[in-house]
Structure 1
């Protein structure tokens, strides 16, 4: 122990067991779960924009409207054709009903004339009527049969006319549907719920079906794409924890690997890994982020980096101990050295013991101690530069504030 040296003010920290994680940091890119680029179905001039960038919309929300006067005129003409076709169908149905009624009357007349012809022929055979009456009855029956045939032809023609009228009605209704769809195509609507991206078009701009009006981004869940070097690919597996790191080095979101590509990017010699994260409101589609893939975690001992010193390539920490733990000075059997302040002075209650340690991984601002320090020991975390082995120490708060 150093003789007569005043205690060095230090801060101590108790060594505790914590979770030690082996991890690697990468830069990845976030992608929205679903993203749709909106393009108009028709070409036209923008007459109205309903949304602002960043606005949240539901599926079916109008985004923009294009000029649609021609579509409206086409829809009006198609609607008029439908109405005219309906009238034609109604007329054809009425004509068919009239032809069928005439056919029914002609059939009844023929049945009557057939009966009359048979009765007259019987009477002529019996000599009750002259042959002339039979000829007249036969002629009337033939005339009635001809009338029935004409009525049947009229029914066939009426049915054909009705079929054609109905076909025209179907065609006009189809034209009306197309015209209505063309009119609807002039209004661009959101196909999914999400946030509106940039809106590059303005009222008055002419756009075609190849122009992007805006994008709808569904970013409640974001997918992280990581390119992991092929050297670490054997350790990649679904379920590995992944953290997003903020500017202060702290984790802002935590997820896990959900997909590992079976292929290697030949150019970059990397493997694609993906993880999903719930958006906490600060993450953005297309954002580059620092990430931490945690390969393994286990209980271990950590000490702050400022507690570690290096001498001649070896690493040490100072732990708080008692003077009797220091090596004795002088020859064996000599009296123990006098404490500071003389034989009757009060000696230091604690000294700094220099302890060689074996370091593991660096985690945040702490080193893993593989060996050299045990749990519950007190390590010196400030004032280390002024210490030597067995130097007396005193807690800094006990020394009072230094004068300026």
Structure 2
């Protein structure tokens, strides 16, 4: 009797469990969203059309000065005059520093007196030699002394000229390294002069694009600091050797204007448009779905989205060339594909 009751209880439990599962399944199915096959999905579209495909590539670089030099004196001594300040614009031949030259002037003055004495002796010996009153060798020695003294004077005059330090070209004083009263030695830096009347924009161009450029080519240049200004530069140098990453430096000479003054170290970029192909069928990149090996496109046909396989060729930043699978004038979906299946009714925007 107990065994029968146990069996009945197990059967009742199993039946209750089965009923509960069936009931829960119905509730879950009722809650699951079932799309309406007749409801239209809003999508954005574009028309497959014939286009001249071109690729615009932008290369970023930085401006460097046309010329920059550290002013180093060819003489040593104390600086007695230093009429420059950082940021000051100076012209070519402008005085940068004057070194103490008093000792050199004294030496030149002493040699001038000696030279005058030799020249007087020369006049006397010339008269005496003519009258055989003195050996000719005295005349020769005096002539050699005059030449030697003149050479010493020229040497000291050169040293005297070196105590005046001037600019080799026009520019801006970007660094002043000493002060008046400092004692400098030969070759020690005094100041740095930077010429930005013309700038050089240096960009790194990868190997695959280097043949798109040539020396002498004019290029438009854009900058972040002057987004609305238009600059034009000319390629002055293309490196013959690239770096380890196969990038080649290109140097573009850019005249610097007074209104939109560029400075060394600023960023600049060039854009080069490369015509990839003539008239060819193309669609926006957003139209392509699927994988790269099996690209597909949703085409609007009779109010429905029809998924079609295509073959793609040349690509740009904005378009894909379609070599097979579409015709010019086909309306393709460019946005909203995530809500589509093959045959979904759509409303084109």
Identify the TM-score tier after normalising by the shorter chain.
0.5 to 0.7
- The offset of 1:189, in angstroms, is 0.9
Specify whether residues 317 and 264 from structure 1 end up closer, same or farther in structure 2 by C-alpha distance, changes over 3 A only: same
Q: What is the aligned-residue RMSD (CA, Å)?
A: 5.1
Q: Residue 302 of structure 2 corresponds to which residue in structure 1?
A: 327
- The offset of 1:237, in angstroms, is 5.3
Structure having the higher Rg: 1
Specify whether residues 46 and 237 from structure 1 end up closer, same or farther in structure 2 by C-alpha distance, changes over 3 A only: same
Q: SS state of the match for residue 316, structure 2?
A: strand
Q: Residue 57 of structure 2 corresponds to which residue in structure 1?
A: 23
Query: Which residue of 73, 87, 96 corresponds with 1:63?
Result: 96
Question: TM-score, normalization: structure 2?
Answer: 0.60
Q: Residue 238 of structure 2 corresponds to which residue in structure 1?
A: 259
Give the structure with the larger helix fraction.
1
CA distance in 2, matches of 1:378, 1:252: 41
Higher relative contact order (CA 8 A, sep 6+): 1
- The offset of 1:39, in angstroms, is 0.3
Give 1:187-336 correspondences, 5 Å limit.
187-229=164-206, 231-232=207-208, 235=211, 238-239=214-215, 244-247=221-224, 248=227, 252-256=231-235, 258-261=237-240, 263-265=241-243, 268-281=244-257, 282-287=261-266, 289-292=268-271, 294-296=273-275, 327=302
Equivalent residues of 1:34, 1:219 under 8 A apart: yes
Structure 2's unaligned 5+ residue stretches are: 1-37, 339-343
Equivalent residues of 1:233, 1:271 under 8 A apart: no
Question: TM-score, normalization: structure 1?
Answer: 0.53
Equivalent residues of 1:238, 1:259 under 8 A apart: yes
In the alignment, is residue 51 of structure 1 matched against residue 30 of structure 2?
no
CA distance in 2, matches of 1:312, 1:298: 25
CA distance in 1, matches of 2:182, 2:277: 61
Q: SS state of the match for residue 57, structure 2?
A: strand
Q: SS state of the match for residue 239, structure 2?
A: strand
Give 1:338-353 correspondences, 5 Å limit.
none
In the alignment, is residue 170 of structure 1 matched against residue 147 of structure 2?
yes
Give the structure with the larger strand fraction.
2
Structure 1's unaligned 5+ residue stretches are: 104-151, 319-324, 330-354, 394-404
Q: SS state of the match for residue 197, structure 1?
A: strand
